[in-house]
């Protein structure tokens, strides 16, 4: 990238010479679950102080509909003395990156773009056409903002649905994984989602809250979103209980048993620990008296409630020392390993392992 002219800088004066400015700062929730647009506002202030006539500003941060027009636009206009849609172009384009996905990246994933005016949309489309194969314009800013929340809320609700099915199918002795594979052969009307130890990352657990927050402002409760949150938040406690059941079958108590968590990131083959369900799981297991360790080549240090979880580096050692191995994320290192399947007892939340020693979620 450096060889082709890319330069990273923290000097905001670079905006003075920029034709296009893309704002892509974090949009978390604050302590009481309210959208925190602090970074978006701060970045917009910085841009406004250096914005010149003729530039294009694009917001990419995930947020609720109305942010670009109602929050970013006035900051840009006030700081620069320029008018959006007249002196400079303003657009929104959601990030659609799926970390760890080797098939779908920035270039071949269609890019949604919506502008304040048709001219703003056109300008933003021309910009993104230089770097992505397919650009999809929307009728306006709010539709582009809503697209991202719609996509993530759809995923959030379907994951929660299948997580609830996992609990229920286990009670009835149904192999849900087999049923999902069978249902997935239907060429229409069904998309396969698979259960897991809980939702994580900075998108799925967070973005739907942006939607329910804005819905509440107009007096509407998005009960689907709230329910999905509730169901998926229960999963770490459920995995702790299933670990206890596994120990029970071995006639061992949770108190004093050694539990090894394999994969503590929020999804397989990435290093991101944000919102990982492994954290509440560790808290549950510790409260039940378990001695918890982890193994994960993507993570050097894993701290829960201020206390470091001991790391095991070698799969063989993890397998030998654990009373139960809980496979949380099916990193390639675990799937490719010949040793993990040798563990006395595996609670597999990924549905990848089979055998008498394996209990699948």
Cβ 48 to ligand NAD shortest distance, Å: 12
Q: Contact with ligand NAD (CB under 6 A): which of 18, 20, 25, 241?
A: 25
* 149/312 with CB nearer ligand NAD: 149
Smallest separation (angstroms) from ligand NAD to the CB of 103: 15
Q: Is 15 a binder of ligand NAD (CB under 6 A)?
A: no
Of residues 8 and 172, the one with the C-beta less far from ligand NAD: 8
Site membership for ligand NAD, residue 106 (CB under 6 A): no
Of the pair 10, 307, the CB lying nearest ligand NAD is at 10
- The residue from 120, 169, 203, 345 that is catalytic is 203
Q: How far is the CB of 28 from ligand NAD (least distance, A)?
A: 8
Interaction of residue 203 with ligand NAD, rule CB under 6 A: yes
Give the nearer residue to ligand NAD in terms of CB position, either 18 or 39: 39
Q: In this complex, which beta carbon is closest to ligand NAD, that of residue 274 or of residue 311? A: 274
CB of 241: closest distance to ligand NAD in angstroms?
32
* Subset of residues 226 to 285 that bind ligand NAD, contact rule: CB under 6 A: none
State yes or no: residue 76 binds ligand NAD (CB under 6 A): no
- Under the binding rule (CB under 6 A), the answer on residue 161 touching ligand NAD is no
Tell me: does residue 85 bind ligand NAD (CB under 6 A).
no
CB of 39 to ligand NAD, least distance (A): 4
Q: Which of 18, 20, 46, 109 binds ligand NAD (CB under 6 A)?
A: 46
The only residue of 48, 55, 61, 68 in contact with ligand NAD, by rule CB under 6 A:
61
Give least dist CB 98 to ligand NAD, A.
Answer: 7
- Judged by CB under 6 A, the stretch of 91-99, 286-294, 304-312, 347-355 that binds ligand NAD is 91-99
**Paired tokens of 270:** 């990435």
Question: In whole angstroms, how close is the CB of 55 to ligand NAD at the nearest point?
Answer: 16
Choice from 18, 20, 24, 151 touching ligand NAD (CB under 6 A): 24
Is the distance from CB of 152 to CB of 203 less than 8 angstroms? yes
Q: Which of 62, 68, 243, 293 is close enough to bind ligand NAD by CB under 6 A?
A: 62
CA pseudo-torsion sign 347, 353, 355, 361: positive
CA 122 to chain centre: 30
Strands 324-327 vs 307-308: parallel, antiparallel or unpaired: unpaired
Applying CB under 6 A, which part among 18-26, 227-235, 322-330, 344-352 lies near ligand NAD?
18-26
Which residues have C-beta within 8 Å of that of residue 342, sequence separation ≥ 6? 319
Q: What is the 3-state secondary structure (H, E, C) of the chain?
A: CCCCCCCCCCCHHHHHHCCEEEECCCCCECCCCCECCHHHHHHHHHHHHHCCCCCEEEECCCCCCCHHHHHHHHHHHHHHCCCECCCEEEEECCCCCCCCCCCCCCCCCCEEEEECCHHHHHHHHHHHHCCCCCEEECCCHHHHHHHHHHHHHHHHHHHHHHHHHHHHHHHHCCCHHHHHHHHCCCCCCCCCCCCCCCCCCCCCCCHHHHHHHHHHHCCCCCHHHHHHHHHHHCHHHHHHHHHHHHHHHCCCCCCCCEEEEECCCCCCCCCCCCCCCHHHHHHHHHHCCCEEEEECCCCCCCEECCEECCECCCHHHHHHHCCEEEECCCCHHHHCCCCHHHCCCEEECCCCCCCCCEEEC
Does position 342 interact with ligand NAD (CB under 6 A)? The reply is no
Check if 120 is active-site.
no
Structure tokens at 2: 């450096």
Assigned token pair, 92: 């929104």
Which residues lie near ligand NAD (CB under 6 A)? 24-27, 39, 42-43, 46, 60-62, 95, 97, 99, 202-203
Which positions are catalytic? 203
């Amino acid at each position: 990238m450096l060889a082709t002219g890319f330069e990273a800088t923290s000097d905001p004066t670079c905006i003075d010479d920029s034709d296009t400015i893309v704002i892509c700062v974090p949009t978390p929730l604050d302590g009481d679950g309210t959208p925190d647009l602090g970074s978006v506002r701060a970045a917009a202030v910085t841009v406004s102080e250096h914005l010149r006539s003729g530039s294009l500003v694009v917001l990419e941060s995930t947020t609720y509909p109305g942010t670009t027009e109602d929050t970013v636009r006035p900051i840009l206009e006030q700081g620069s003395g320029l008018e959006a849609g007249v002196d400079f172009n303003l657009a929104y384009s959601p990030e659609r990156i799926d970390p760890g996905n080797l098939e779908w990246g920035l270039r071949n994933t269609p890019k949604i773009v919506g502008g304040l005016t048709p001219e703003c949309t056109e300008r933003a489309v021309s910009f993104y056409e230089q770097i992505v194969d397919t650009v999809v314009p929307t009728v306006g800013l709010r539709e582009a903002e809503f697209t991202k929340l719609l996509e993530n809320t759809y995923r959030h609700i379907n994951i929660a649905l299948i997580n609830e099915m996992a609990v229920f199918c286990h009670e009835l002795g149904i192999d849900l994984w087999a049923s999902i594979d069978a249902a997935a052969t239907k060429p229409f009307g069904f998309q396969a989602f698979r259960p897991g130890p809980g939702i994580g990352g900075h998108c799925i657990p967070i973005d739907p809250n942006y939607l329910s927050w804005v819905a509440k402002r107009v007096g509407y409760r998005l009960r689907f979103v709230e329910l999905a949150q509730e169901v998926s938040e229960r999963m770490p406690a459920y995995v702790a209980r299933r670990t206890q059941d596994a120990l029970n079958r071995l006639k061992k108590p949770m108190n004093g048993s050694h539990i090894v968590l394999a994969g503590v990131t929020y999804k397989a083959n990435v290093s991101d620990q944000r919102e990982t369900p492994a954290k509440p799981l560790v808290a549950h297991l510790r409260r039940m008296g378990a001695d918890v360790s982890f193994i994960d080549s993507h993570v050097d240090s894993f701290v829960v409630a201020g206390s470091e979880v001991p790391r095991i580096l070698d799969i063989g050692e993890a397998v030998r020392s654990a009373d139960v191995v809980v496979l949380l994320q099916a990193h390639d290192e675990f799937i490719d390993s010949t040793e993990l399947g040798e563990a006395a007892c595996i609670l597999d939340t990924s549905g990848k392992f089979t055998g008498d020693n394996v209990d699948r979620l």
